[in-house]
Structure 1
Amino acid sequence: MVQPEQPTPGQRVERLRRVAGLSRERLAGLAGLSPTTVKFIENGRRALTLRAAQQLAPHLGVRDLADLFGPTVTLSLDGRPSHPAVDEVRRALTAWHVTLAGEPESTEYLRGAVDSAWQTWHTSRHQRTEAGAVLPGLIDSTQRAARLHTGEARRVSLALLAQAYHLAQAYLAWHGDRELCWLTVDRGMAAALDADDPLAIAQSIWYAAHLLRAVGRGDEALERLREVRGLIEPRVADGGTEYAEMLADLHLCAALTRARTGDQGAWSEWDAARQVVQRALPEGFVGLRTRVSRPLVDVYAVMCAVDLGDPDEAQRRAHALDPMSIPSTERRSRHYVELARSADLESAPEATLHLLGRAETTSPETVRYSPAAQDMLVRLTKEAPASVRAEAVALARRAGVVE
């Protein structure tokens, strides 16, 4: 007797959503996912991950995840590809200095070290390897300075320590333990608050918001961003470019957070960032650590359009943006990944593969560790037309996605 074919996890999600009387947009908003993600899960173009299942289950009336995955599906506990330096960074983050001796590095030296590390992050093709090499020493030096300095030098050291933790979060985001990411967020926030530095506090909120959004707590992220904008906005007029740069970045973070939940209000946040950059920052301005600039604002427009599931708008926004104008190798590679996602939305595998190839040429480590790039590459190795499948397999092998 022929056994009936089991529904896929995506088909199970769609059936349960319809039974619950929810639109994709409504379910996505409740679960903290984008409508595009829910659509792709349902039609099989994106795998149902354990995290997504946990976010969807309460809103579909599911108490046992077997109702989503089915009896024949096994769940792998393998994590994302891990970078070789993660263990050393972890040791630096959990090496508490009970006793300290000697003289701390000067704040001028530490500022130069932090700025150099961020410059490396934005200019290297292998930013994760190079950041992983300097992070343990940077964390150690800034921790020591924050403990040993006094007065104003201690406040400055604490703000720089927060920056070291922010770089650690950027490094760990795609391949570290989630607990380590939360540790860097909490440590960075504590250092910024102790420094009593509005810019340091706002930067810490910015990094915290990205992690809150990633775990489905977008409403909390938006609330924290609104709160800290009240700290920064009154200082923009007299505080110099750093405050305008920070305000623009807070609006961009809010725009992306709204877009990830299908909220068209993303465009008002994006436009607020655009206006700050145009009115309050000089022509050609590029933030040292944030890379806030006119091109970066355009990059966010493409990202928002993709996350809102509008490939036509994404391509329109991208048409006038020269990727070489993006003042960060890492962000430029991520831009190509976003364009690949846009092509993927339109079921254009050749274009998707071409753009992922451009991303890999720009920064191999961005493709190797980007969950979105990995997901597209896995599907291309199975679904790309025969004429380009060998190319897809070769790229997936270089990226470590397949053996």
Structure 2
Amino acid sequence: MVDQQIIPGERVERLRRAAGLSRERLAGLAGLSATTVKFIENGRRSLTLRAAQQLAPHLGVRDLGDLFGPQVSISLDGRPSHPAVDDVRRALTAWQVTITGEPESTDYLRGAIDAAWQTWHTSRHQRTEAGQLLPGLLEATQRATRLHRGADRRVSLALLAQAYHLAQAYLAWHGDRELCWLAVDHGMTAALDADDLLAVGQSIWYAAHLLRATGRGDDAVERLGEARALIEPHVADGGVEWAEMLADLHLCTALTKARMGDQGAWSDWDTARQVVERALPSGFVGLRTRVSRPLVDVYAVMCAVDLGDPDEARRRAHTLDPASIPSTERRGRHYVELARSADLEGAREATLHLLTRAEATSPETVRYSPAAQDMLGRLAREAPASVRAEAMDLAQRIGVVN
């Protein structure tokens, strides 16, 4: 019988201890940060349905009432899904058995994919615009890989991998994890068939994000190490794209370690900083990755937040002008990270202010971000009256509550 007097966080802690798990181990298994588990247990953060679903299998819980208590009513509605998901799903699962006609040229396809990535990084409504572009982009690149031969086919395969990566970026916050895995698998297969080391490295980068999100942080770090071993020998004599890829792999490793509560994240972050400063031209911005000096600083804030150090996050953010972040989508996510830092300190007014800034920058980033949804939901329910009305207005505006 569940004790109805204790809060859900206390139930999580009791079950974790009974299972013989440290917070860090449970967090890694569940795909959460150690700080998130800590704050759930001590009541500084609400136990959301999403977090409960991630934690339950590793705590031996089959009935979520064992976490929330039988008196709690739980809605099983999924997180908001974008209206174009079904169209993207059809494009990802289409098998074009018979293909005729002439393929698009590799130059045309490269231009189309570059334009799609530029849209992703510059539009305030990047998911809506990407959702409109992706079905046609996937179909055109899939056709090209079937109809081209020789070197053009290998180039087409590398471009197809990029189209799948954009699909994964689009799908990441919409709850259909199997569809994300399909995009990762298709992207990796295309990159390997292209025999293109840069395409393989980037495919591993994307796979690592999904491995981390599903509680396989150790696997993600291992795969990222393999990718760096592929890329690093070419940095000295190759073009800037090799250094860009190496820096991005180190940044992904740093964030993965931070979400596992590993202070070694700062070593990888510093290596990425050195690569950007020494091997990339001043003012360089990666077209698809957005690797740049400001992006390195963005990652520093993210690592500090995930390591549970709001003072360090605030210090790192102090000299970073959000206007310098070369991506609207990334800028919106940066404001969400700053809101997470304020949330860690219990600064509700600051949290709401930063979420409002995020929504003004990129409404869809806030609408579909699980972290933003969690913070706004709690503010709308629990904040003082002076904040709650404004939080409710923002939550209604982006569809978190009706």
Establish whether TM, by shorter chain, passes 0.5.
yes
Q: Conserved in 2, the CA contact under 8 Å of 1:46 and 1:375?
A: no
User: How far does residue 5 in structure 1 lie from its aligned partner after superposition?
Assistant: 4.1
Deviation at 1:71, TM superposition (A): 2.9
Cα gap change, 1:176/1:69 in structure 2, threshold over 3 Å: closer, same or farther?
Answer: closer
Aligned to 2:328: 329
C-alpha deviations, 1:19-56, integer Å up to 9, x for none?
A: 55655345434544312110222234444356644554
How do 1:138-217 residues align onto structure 2 when only pairs under 5 Å count? 138-217=137-216
Structure 2: distance between partners of 1:130 and 1:40 = 36
Pair 1:30–1:168, CA change in 2 (3 A)? closer
Give the letter aligned to residue 344 of structure 1.
D
Equivalent residue number for residue 371 of structure 1? 370
Take 1:400 and 1:55, find their aligned partners in 2: how far apart are those partners?
A: 23
- In structure 1, what is the equivalent of residue 236 of structure 2? 237
Q: Deviations over 1:264-289 (max 9, x none)?
A: 01001101100110110010000000
1:117: how far off?
Answer: 0.1
How far 1:376 moved relative to its partner? 0.4
Structure 2 gap ranges (5+) = none
Residue 246 (str. 1) matches residue 235 (str. 2): no
> More deviation in 277-286 or 56-65?
56-65
The corresponding residue for 1:398 is 397
4+ runs deviating over 2 angstroms = 3-9, 15-33, 43-77
Residue 284 of structure 2 corresponds to residue 291 of structure 1: no
Query: Match for 1:129: what amino acid?
Result: T
- SS of the aligned residue for 2:98 comes to coil
Structure 1 contact 381–389 (Cα < 8 Å) conserved: yes
Which whole-Å CA distance do the structure 1 matches of 2:63 and 2:175 have between them? 28
Q: Which amino acid aligns with 1:14?
A: E
What secondary structure, in the 3-state scheme, does the structure 2 residue paired with 1:82 have? coil
SS at the partner of 1:199? helix
Q: Please tell me the residue identity of whatever aligns with 1:159.
A: A
Tell me what 2:358 maps to: 359
Distance in 2, Cα, partners of 1:256 & 1:356: 22
CA 130–150 in structure 1, closer or farther in 2 if over 3 Å, else same: same
Matching residue of 2:94: 95
Question: SS at the partner of 2:70?
Answer: coil
Instruction: Please state how far the C-alpha of 1:218 moved relative to its aligned partner.
Output: 0.6
Report the AA paired with residue 12 of structure 1.
Answer: R
| Superposed counterparts of 1:266-305, under 5 Å | 266-305=265-304
Report what 1:223 is aligned to.
222
**Conserved 8 A contact 2:29-2:215:** no
Structure 1 stretches lacking a partner, 5+ long: none
Q: Which amino acid aligns with 2:223?
A: R
Secondary structure in 2 aligned to 1:262? coil
Once residues 380 and 58 of structure 2 are traced to their aligned partners in structure 1, the CA distance between those partners, rounded to angstroms, is 33
2:254 aligned with 1:255, yes or no? yes
Would the alpha carbon gap of residues 30 and 400 (structure 1) be closer, same or farther in structure 2, given more than 3 Å must change?
closer
Distance 1:60 1:146 in 2: 46
The superposition leaves residues 146-197 of structure 1 with CA deviations (integer Å, 9 ceiling, x where unpaired) of: 1100000000000000000000000010115111111100000000000000
Take 1:71 and 1:4, find their aligned partners in 2: how far apart are those partners? 9
Task: Pick closer, same or farther for the CA change 1:362–1:101 going to 2, 3 Å.
Answer: same
Task: Give the whole-Å Cα distance in 2 for the aligned partners of 1:372 and 1:48.
Answer: 12
| Counterpart residue type for residue 357 of structure 1 | T
Distance 1:97 1:314 in 2: 49
Normalising by structure 1, we get a TM-score of 0.95
CA separation of 1:21 and 1:151: change in aligned 2, threshold 3 A: closer
- TM-score computed with the length of structure 2 as normaliser: 0.95
- CA separation in 2, counterparts of 1:77 and 1:387? 30
Q: What is the CA distance between 1:344 and its match in structure 2?
A: 0.3
- Secondary structure in 2 aligned to 1:239? coil
Structure 1 residues 229 and 194: alpha-carbon distance in aligned structure 2, compared to 1, 3 A threshold: same
What is the CA deviation profile of residues 288-347 of structure 1, one whole-angstrom value per residue up to 9, with x for unaligned ones?
A: 000000000000000000000000000000000000000000000000000000000000
2:316 maps to: 317
Q: How many positions carry a matched residue from both structures?
A: 401
Q: Deviations over 1:217-269 (max 9, x none)?
A: 11111111001111000010111100000000000000000000100010011
Distance 1:238 1:253 in 2: 23
Give the corresponding residue for 1:388.
Answer: 387
Deviates more, 1:55-64 or 1:372-381: 55-64
C-alpha distance in 1 between matches for 2:361 and 2:129: 16
Q: Select between 27-36 and 160-169 the one with higher mean Cα deviation.
A: 27-36
For 1:304, the aligned partner's letter is C
Tell me by how many angstroms 1:107 deviates.
0.2
Equivalent position amino acid for 1:198 in 2:
L
| In 2: Cα distance, 1:59 partner to 1:368 partner | 29
Q: Which residue of 2 aligns with 1:126?
A: 125
**Counterpart Cα distance in 1 of 2:25 and 2:79:** 29
Of the structure 1 ranges 285-294 and 74-83, higher mean CA displacement relative to structure 2 is found in 74-83
Aligned-residue RMSD, C-alpha: 1.9
